[in-house]
Amino acid sequence: MKIHEEYELISAYLDGELSDAESAAVSGHVSSCPSCRAQFQSLRAAKARLAHAPRRALPPALVGQLERRLARPTWGSLLERLWPPLRVLVPAGAFAAAAAAAWFWGSLRAAAPDHAIPLEPLLAAHSRYTAEALVPASELVASNYSAQLNAYYGDTSEQE
Amino acid sequence: MSPRTFSSSERNNNVGPSGDFSELIRQCGEKAYNFAYRLSGNEPDARDLVQEAFVRALEHFGSYDPSRPFDTWLYKILHNIYLDGMRRYAHRHVVSMDAAPPQADTSWEELLPGDDPEPGAGIMRQQEDGLVQAALDALPPHYRAAVTLCDIEGLSYEQIGEIMSCPAGTVRSRIHQGRTLVRKILEKELKPGEKVR
């Protein structure tokens, strides 16, 4: 045991924190080594002075302040007090909110007009327009075109 | 408002809250205040530390293990608050290593004549208290806490390790280093605040 290099052992010995074997080794070494004995004695004196330092009494004013402050509810204690009812109310409230949202969304869908554009007539009109576009522009007459449009819308209304 | 009482499940087997706040303060307040005073070196900071420690202890009472001593848990909270404060202070200030250590405030109770039959002994005690505190103030915070808990509060290495959140080997090293520095200061080998090897 390198006690010279590990004066910590002497401190631990003073504090009663060594095993029986370690204590015996340190004790034997300290009694035979003047350097370690001096170290032991000075550390023991320092420990004793610290241990006998006057203790501070708790100021009476601080006791009153503590009692008043601790009697005041803190956020933690408030949460602790409110948690049992909240444990039931929070999931119930969340369920009710979800149900209300679902009902509202459903009622909106029911009331909304059907603005869906019929896809098939639209594609048919597009094909027709593409074919018509192959006709030379000089042969296009506005009145004919209007008639074609009327015919087209008439066709689509019939399909619906 | 009447003080809150602790339920039987919250009671501690060793030292702990066994009644109301007054009982809790009576059981642990003085120990906490002594520890806070030796850490901070002055009365106002010690008061603040103790108040904050009790408030946090009650806020986080759910995380307290009733099989462990309540005062150890309170020391741990107090020590953490102290270290947080030190870190914040160090972050905002440049601390001179050559500056004299802060002097402890003296309360009116100490200045007023007491019922001590030997006033000289009282003065000696005050001087000794001042010397010990000056030596502790000169230590780095971790050494100061370890030495205070071991030599002044009389806790075991295991308890100190729990409070300071470090293994027993680190506790042993900090206590030895701190105690060696205290010895040197008290034996006038070093002046308080002087840089040590």
Contact A74 B30 (CB under 8 A): no
Poorest-confidence range of A56-60, A137-141, B44-48, B152-156? Answer: A137-141
CA angle A143, A149, A155 (to 5 degrees): 140
Q: How confident is the model at residue A107 (pLDDT cuts 50, 70, 90)?
A: confident
Say whether residue A149 is in contact with chain B using an 8 A CB cutoff.
no
**What pLDDT is attached to residue B4?**
42
- Distance in angstroms (rounded) separating the CA atoms of residues B118 and B138: 31
Give residue for tokens 């192959």.
Answer: A134
Contact A72 B1 (CB under 8 A): yes
CA angle B171, B172, B175 (to 5 degrees): 80
**Least CB-CB distance to A66: which of B54, B128, B186?**
B54
Contact A15 B150 (CB under 8 A): yes
Residues A9-26: tens digit of each pLDDT: 999 999 999 999 999 999
pLDDT exceeds cutoff 50 at A77: yes
The per-residue pLDDT string of chain B (197 residues; one tens digit each, 9 = 90 and over) reads 344 444 433 444 344 444 456 777 888 899 999 999 999 999 999 999 999 999 898 888 888 888 888 899 999 999 999 999 888 877 666 554 444 444 445 454 544 455 555 667 778 778 888 889 999 999 999 999 999 999 999 999 999 999 999 999 999 999 999 999 999 998 876 565 565 54
Partners of A84 on chain B (C-beta within 8 Å) are: none
| pLDDT greater at residue A115 or residue B120 | B120
Q: Mean pLDDT across the stretch A83-99?
A: 84
Rounded to two decimals, the pTM is 0.63
Contact B59 A76 (CB under 8 A): yes
Mutate to test the interface with B, among A3, A56, A68 (most CBs of B within 10 A): A56
Indicate the DSSP class of residue A72. S
- Distance in angstroms (rounded) separating the CA atoms of residues B103 and B97: 15
